[in-house]
Amino acid sequence: MKIAVVGTGYVGLVTGTCLAETGNTVTCVDINEEKVKMMQAFKLPIYEPGLDLLFHRNIEQGRLKFTTNLADAISDAQIIYLALPTPPDGDGAADLSYVLGAAKDIAKLIKEYKVIVTKSTVPVGTADKVIKVFKDNTSVEVDVVSNPEFLREGVAVEDFMKPDRVVVGTESVRAQKLMAELYGPYVRQGNPIIFMDARSSELTKYAANSFLATKITFMNEIANLCELVGADVDAVRKGIGSDDRIGKRFLFPGVGYGGSCFPKDVQALAHSARENKYDFKILESVMEVNDIQRKVLVEKMRKYYDGQLKGKKIAIWGLAFKPETDDIREAPALYIIEELLKDGAIISAFDPEAMSNVKKVVGDKIHFGDNQYDILKDADALVIVTEWSVFRTPDFDRVGTLLKSKVIFDGRNLYDLQKMIDCGYYYNSIGRKTISI
C-alpha cells in the first residue's frame, strides 16, 4: 500500500518505519527542514532501540522516504496518517491546532478518495472535527479513522510490530477493510483488530493511559503506607500481582510517572470530564498524588539532612523519564533537580542517553559526568532516579570508596536490602525498610 505519514515525531517516525517494514511504500513529511535533511542523510533524530536497523533497511530498499513537501507526500497515498503533536494548552486541554491545520492543508490538495488516520492522542470528538475540516475544504470523499497508538518508548518497535491489539475507530466499511488489510501482517499471532466508532476509539486511548497511571499511583500510595506500617512493598506487589485480575505489570512504585503521555493524557481526560460536567474524582487525585510523589525522594533527603541540603554534594544516576530512552519530558529527575537546587545542593548527574537533553534545560547549573562512577567522588549521597540496567549491579566497593558517605536514596528499588546491610550503606528506597548504618 502507499502511505503518507504527516509529522515525524516519535510516533510518526516509528509508525512510518514499521509500516514500510511489511512492504508498504511510506513517505514521511515534516515542516522541519533540518530534521528532514537529517533523515534523508540516514540519521535518526531520536534514540529508540531497534529503530535504526529498520530505518536504514527501508530507506535503502526505497520503501521509506522523507520530504517537506506535503503535496508530493500525499498525492498517490491511499492512507494518510496524522501523527502531529497535541500539547496541553494552558488549562490542560489538548491543543488541536496542528492536527486540524494539517487536515485543512491536506483537504485542499487531495483529488481522490483517501483514508485519513488520526494517530495523535486526541480528545473525544476530534475525528468529527477533522471530518468537518474536510467537508469545509473539499468535495473529495474521505474517511476519517481514529487509530490510537499504544507504543511504549524503548520498546516501540516491538509494540508496533506485535501489538497486543489494534484499535480502529471508524464505521466506514470501506475504511475498515483497508485498515484490516494494512494491519493484517502485524496481528498474525491472533491478537485482535478491534473495530469501533471513532469516539470510543479516542476515549480508549485516554482510558488506557489513565488506567495505567492510576495503577502506578495506587502502588505509590501503597508504598508510602508500607513505610509507615513497616510492610515491604515488594512483597505486597508480588502478593497482589499474582492475581490475574490485577496482573504483574505496572505495579512498580517509584518517583511518580512521567513521560510524554501519562501526565498529558491524564490531564486531558480530567479536563474533558470537567468540560462535560463530570467530576472524575480518581483522576483528580491521581494528578495530585503524582505531583507529591515526584518529590518524595527530596522530602526523604530533607528529613535525613534536617533541612540542611545547602552545600551538600548530591550525585544522581538516571535522568530520562524511564530507561532505554533519551526522553526527559515530564521526567521526575527534572523536578528533583529543581527542588535540590532550590535548597542549595550541588548536583552532579549521569545518564546513559539523556544528558544532552537535560543540559539544554538546566545548562551549567549541574555537573554532568562521563560515567556513572566519576560523579560520585566526594558526594554526600547517591540518588537513583531512573532504573537503567547499568545501575542495577554496580561495584559497591568502588561506589563506597568514592562517596564521602555511604548514603543511597533509591527511587526505583534497585537493590536488595540484605546486600545494602552487608555493604554497610544507609539505604532509603520506596515502600521498604530504611537501612541505617
| 300 marked as part of a ligand binding site | no
Size of the site for ligand UDX (CB under 6 A): 19
- Nearest approach, Cβ of residue 398 and ligand UDX (Å): 27
Catalytic residue among 18, 226, 261, 423: 261
Rule CB under 6 A: say whether 410 interacts with ligand UDX: no
Q: Is the distance from CB of 261 to CB of 212 less than 8 angstroms?
A: no
What distance in Å separates the CA atoms of residue 198 and residue 268, rounded to the nearest whole number?
17
Residue from 9, 254, 352, 369 binding ligand UDX (CB under 6 A) = 254
**Residue 243 exposed, middle or buried by CB count within 10 Å (0-12, 13-18, 19+):** exposed
Helices 198-229 and 281-293: angle between axes, nearest 10 degrees: 50
What distance in Å separates the CA atoms of residue 352 and residue 318, rounded to the nearest whole number?
8
Q: Measured in whole angstroms, how far is the alpha carbon of residue 279 from the centre of its chain?
A: 26
Residue from 14, 51, 127, 251 binding ligand UDX (CB under 6 A) = 251
Part of the chain binding ligand UDX (CB under 6 A), chosen from 196-204, 245-253, 303-311, 359-367: 245-253
What distance in Å separates the CA atoms of residue 40 and residue 66, rounded to the nearest whole number?
6
Part of the chain binding ligand UDX (CB under 6 A), chosen from 22-30, 136-144, 183-191, 254-262: 254-262
Rule CB under 6 A: say whether 257 interacts with ligand UDX: yes
Distances (CA, A) of 4 to 83, 105, 116, 252, 346: 10, 14, 10, 38, 48
- Residue placing its CB nearer to ligand UDX in the complex, 1 or 246: 246
18 is catalytic: no
Cell of 288: 495530585
| 350 marked as part of a ligand binding site | no
> Which residue, 93, 91, 72, is CA-closest to 2?
72
- Residue placing its CB nearer to ligand UDX in the complex, 327 or 339: 327
- Residue placing its CB nearer to ligand UDX in the complex, 114 or 432: 432
| 151 marked as part of a ligand binding site | yes
Q: Is the distance from CB of 407 to CB of 423 less than 8 angstroms?
A: no
Interface of this chain with ligand UDX, residues 313 to 342, rule: CB under 6 A: 321-322
- Nearest approach, Cβ of residue 253 and ligand UDX (Å): 7
- Nearest approach, Cβ of residue 149 and ligand UDX (Å): 5
Beta-bridge mates of residue 94: 88
DSSP states of 154-210: TSHHHHHHS-S-EEEE---HHHHHHHHHHHGGGGTTSPPEEEE-HHHHHHHHHHHHH
- Residue placing its CB nearer to ligand UDX in the complex, 218 or 368: 218
Annotate each residue in 197-236 with x if it binds ligand UDX (CB under 6 A) or - if it does not, as one string.
------------x--x---x--------------------
Cell of 291: 505531583
- Nearest approach, Cβ of residue 257 and ligand UDX (Å): 4
- Nearest approach, Cβ of residue 252 and ligand UDX (Å): 3
Interface of this chain with ligand UDX, residues 127 to 186, rule: CB under 6 A: 149-153
- Residue placing its CB nearer to ligand UDX in the complex, 149 or 380: 149
SS3 category, 85: coil
What distance in Å separates the CA atoms of residue 114 and residue 197, rounded to the nearest whole number?
18
Sequence-separated (6 or more) residues with CB below 8 Å from residue 423? 396, 397, 400, 406
What distance in Å separates the CA atoms of residue 193 and residue 180, rounded to the nearest whole number?
7
Part of the chain binding ligand UDX (CB under 6 A), chosen from 73-81, 104-112, 256-264, 402-410: 256-264
| 280 marked as part of a ligand binding site | no
| 258 marked as part of a ligand binding site | yes
Beta-bridge mates of residue 317: 350, 384
In the annotated binding site, the residues are 30, 35, 86, 121, 150-153, 205, 250-254, 258, 264, 322, 329
In the annotated binding site for NAD(+), the residues are 30, 35, 86, 121, 153, 264, 329
Residue positions annotated with a catalytic role: 261
Residues that bind ligand UDX (CB under 6 A): 149-153, 209, 212, 216, 250-252, 254, 257-259, 261-262, 321-322
